[in-house]
Structure 1
């Protein structure tokens, strides 16, 4: 979520930030290695960003996507990707983690808002997950 937020703030692709951190890690391991699930999720969000943003936008009620707090956009993008393209992550876990992030990092209204939007997106999860897994 941090990489997605930072990338939007800097106006660069999040995958570029991953590459930069990998270069720095070669000489400074305090940065943290860029591997594993976090990289997979960020790369997935970047690869499907237009579709993810469209899915989120279609499920907003009385809000415009660009007017959402940037933190909420990052949380919703990550949560949407996980709901639709990470079949090994339980839907309830995705919702719970997104609400925790919104509680810790965003406005007082954000946890309920994020939960509501992702709950509407979760309805799509079984069909999309089945289609992408080849079932």
Structure 2
């Protein structure tokens, strides 16, 4: 009983909102659509007489809108902190989504403690990816946290950030576990969770199930067991 209670506290409403934001950002990149448009679609579907999708939490929408507006600046900051070892564009799409959510919180939402943003991002990575992803996501966000005040000051002038950015990070080394010559981001798989199943499950989750605090990741696991 006490263990379940602790788990509930750790995985509260904001943790779930972050997870769904990651799901939506991944879906948007995979389908090459605006994540804000996906939010609008979810709102419409959730208002149907017999809704087949969960309503989007307010904080999920806040994250998505924030990341959509500040995406270019966020990507510059992320690329600066991982370019010596990896290339942002060659990371698995889900890892990019996790990094974007966490970095947006760290830089633009000062109501969220920096440590909380990092810890929750690493835990989401442990569920959606694997140990390698958790490790470099933790390292990248820690590096950003060490200079978060400077990043916040720079973020106040996004035009200057983009003007100072390198023209290309294509020559930076790729992720050490990527031995392909031409990896297509759309073909990247989660190491432990199939993203397609996550989104398919989201479309069929009933509002009543969400009210009982069911998580998208749990739904995808149950779907995988049935198959």
Same fold (TM over 0.5): yes
User: Which residue in 2 is equivalent to 1:56?
Assistant: 78
- TM-score, length-normalised on structure 2? 0.55
Q: What pairs with 1:40-55 in structure 2 (closer than 5 Å)?
A: 40-55=62-77
SS at match of 1:54: helix
Flag structure 1 segments of 5+ consecutive residues without an equivalent.
Answer: none
Given the alignment of the two structures, is residue 71 of structure 1 paired with residue 94 of structure 2, yes or no?
yes
Matched residues in 2 for 1:104 and 1:58: separation? 26
Structure 1's consecutive aligned runs of 4 or more residues displaced over 4 angstroms after TM superposition are none
Query: RMSD across aligned C-alpha pairs, in angstroms?
Result: 1.6
Flag structure 2 segments of 5+ consecutive residues without an equivalent.
Answer: 1-21, 157-227
Given the alignment of the two structures, is residue 91 of structure 1 paired with residue 91 of structure 2, yes or no?
no
- TM-score, length-normalised on structure 1? 0.90
**Which digits, 9 at most, give the CA deviation of each residue in 1:13-47, with x for residues without a partner?**
11010011111111143412224111001100000
Q: Which has the larger radius of gyration?
A: 2
| Larger helix share, 1 or 2 | 1
Given the alignment of the two structures, is residue 32 of structure 1 paired with residue 54 of structure 2, yes or no?
yes
CA contact (8 A) 2:63 2:104 kept: yes
Given the alignment of the two structures, is residue 6 of structure 1 paired with residue 27 of structure 2, yes or no?
yes
Larger RCO, structures 1/2 (Cα 8 Å, 6+ apart) = 2
- Alignment length (residue pairs): 131
Matched residues in 2 for 1:80 and 1:12: separation? 21
